Structure 1
């Protein structure tokens, strides 16, 4: 399915719902061809609804081209097939957004880590490992697209440096940030950029279900909650600035701060508010390189 060369081609993982869906929709509004990946193909299969097909259709309705690909990012063969499909259909990959994440409900229930089911370790498979393996499989296509200044975005978060939902969650986010730093070292000079991006408190289906259950508790948080599309808008703006994304390659960035820097507003016109003052910011790393 050929497209004009001025269309940017993106892959957004874990986009049946939530943040991934919002990113995909925002990229669709910006005219991207968006490969929407995820495991959900039947809306009844998940209590929050949503499917890769629904997101892909919404991307097209927003002005882009949505392509649904059912993909379990724990399955390396499935990820390899995804990249092969993008190569066969477009020959380039401009933006890879590693968003897929599996978070058991119990992780956010409070209590010590030993009081939560051990299946919390699934976050290491879909969240940390999947970010690495998807980028590994996509790297040859990204490098072959270097003249188009490709961008890899690894979704991370404030849990990388503050206590948030416990040690397993935090280890994943900290790992994604360090992985991004080290990928930036390896990608230096190739024309491919990589950043980790920290969204704020999001108006996802999962979060809003909690908010609707106790609106008084979240009354003060609602005015500064971000729509999932904000992250996608920030990604599109960063992707449109080759010099800036090269300068920031290897760094972890707070999404709200990046949006303000690039003049991006949320879908309701608000200027996003950084949570740095409350939760802290990204960690720094040594400049030493040992190969």
Structure 2
């Protein structure tokens, strides 16, 4: 029996490490060909470990086909070249996961936004604008085949105060991309959805927790693996009623329950009661 995503072609942006890496690995484990994008080509290119080549190799070992593509998502020319390569090599694209984002090291420090570096606002370039650009290049491939899923990784920071206004605006922004792109894509059987992830078990999170273990006691136990979101996205793509979820902002932990997906044998909690839930789009369409 073949794997559930055998023959599926996916692009996961910002997948050298963290959430993107986990999503790429999960899609690869289900048999997909995964284009892994990012800037880190050699260990040491970034403060945290991880490279596009390393992730691509792990995707292949997991059972998929990993393809490393160096791409600076702040450069539109790099993004155009990425999708031209996908078109040339595969002739199609089934899943785009918009995950690439800029996270400043001082993002989680306390203080007013004006007391932190202005660079924190760069998340609106790589994180918001970059997701629009990638979707703009991906959409024609999906529209031509009348099939596809554009997924955005988001968080509860779109609902509550989390890490300051720039972070929150980026999350609200990608949620709105999903809502509005779904309207344009509906006639072509292409879905768009935004997935709220919980706290993730990444190297970045581990570094933060190790710096203040008392503050974060117990958090690691309820955190999601990055692969968890990847399996949720894979299930959403395969869902025969995928179109009904297009345009929605979905909490990954809740969608996992619907699809019967666990995370290393446990069920990550939804943080809706504590942090709030997503605001769905009003049905009105003004053209």
| TM-score where L is the length of structure 1 | 0.95
Post-superposition shift, 1:46? Answer: 1.1
Deviates more, 1:131-140 or 1:212-221: 212-221
Q: Secondary structure at the match of 1:97?
A: strand
Question: Which whole-Å CA distance do the structure 2 matches of 1:166 and 1:101 have between them?
Answer: 15
Alignment pair present for 1:251 and 2:248 = yes
Question: Which whole-Å CA distance do the structure 2 matches of 1:213 and 1:159 have between them?
Answer: 22
Tell whether the 8 Å contact from 2:156 to 2:277 is kept in structure 1 after alignment. yes
| Equivalent position of 2:258 in the other structure | 261
Post-superposition shift, 1:195? Answer: 0.2
Question: Which whole-Å CA distance do the structure 1 matches of 2:152 and 2:103 have between them?
Answer: 16
Deviations 1:111-166 (A, max 9, x none): 100001101111000010011010001111111121xx311101111111110001
| Equivalent position of 2:275 in the other structure | 279
Tell whether the 8 Å contact from 1:260 to 1:272 is kept in structure 2 after alignment. no
| Equivalent position of 2:168 in the other structure | 170
Query: Which of the numbers 183, 187, 190 marks the counterpart of 1:189?
Result: 187
Question: Which whole-Å CA distance do the structure 2 matches of 1:90 and 1:25 have between them?
Answer: 19
| TM-score where L is the length of structure 2 | 0.96
| Equivalent position of 2:135 in the other structure | 135
Alignment of 1:165-244 (within 5 A): 165-243=163-241
Tell whether the 8 Å contact from 2:247 to 2:281 is kept in structure 1 after alignment. no
- Which consecutive segments of 4 or more residues in structure 1 shift more than 4 A? none
Tell whether the 8 Å contact from 2:23 to 2:227 is kept in structure 1 after alignment. yes
Q: Secondary structure at the match of 1:89?
A: helix
Matched residues, number:
283
Post-superposition shift, 1:6? Answer: 4.7
| Equivalent position of 2:87 in the other structure | 87
Post-superposition shift, 1:271? Answer: 1.2
Tell whether the 8 Å contact from 1:56 to 1:67 is kept in structure 2 after alignment. yes
Question: Which whole-Å CA distance do the structure 1 matches of 2:45 and 2:87 have between them?
Answer: 30
Tell whether the 8 Å contact from 2:249 to 2:280 is kept in structure 1 after alignment. no
Question: Which whole-Å CA distance do the structure 2 matches of 1:285 and 1:29 have between them?
Answer: 33
> Which ranges of structure 2 fall in alignment gaps of 5 or more residues?
none
The two structures, once aligned, show a CA RMSD in angstroms of 1.1
Deviations 1:63-87 (A, max 9, x none): 0000000001111111111111001
Post-superposition shift, 1:210? Answer: 1.3
Question: Which whole-Å CA distance do the structure 1 matches of 2:18 and 2:270 have between them?
Answer: 20
Tell whether the 8 Å contact from 1:10 to 1:33 is kept in structure 2 after alignment. yes
Post-superposition shift, 1:285? Answer: 2.7
Tell whether the 8 Å contact from 1:156 to 1:197 is kept in structure 2 after alignment. yes
Post-superposition shift, 1:34? Answer: 0.2
Tell whether the 8 Å contact from 2:248 to 2:281 is kept in structure 1 after alignment. no
Q: Secondary structure at the match of 2:44?
A: helix
Question: Which whole-Å CA distance do the structure 2 matches of 1:217 and 1:39 have between them?
Answer: 32
Post-superposition shift, 1:170? Answer: 0.5
Question: Which whole-Å CA distance do the structure 2 matches of 1:81 and 1:99 have between them?
Answer: 18
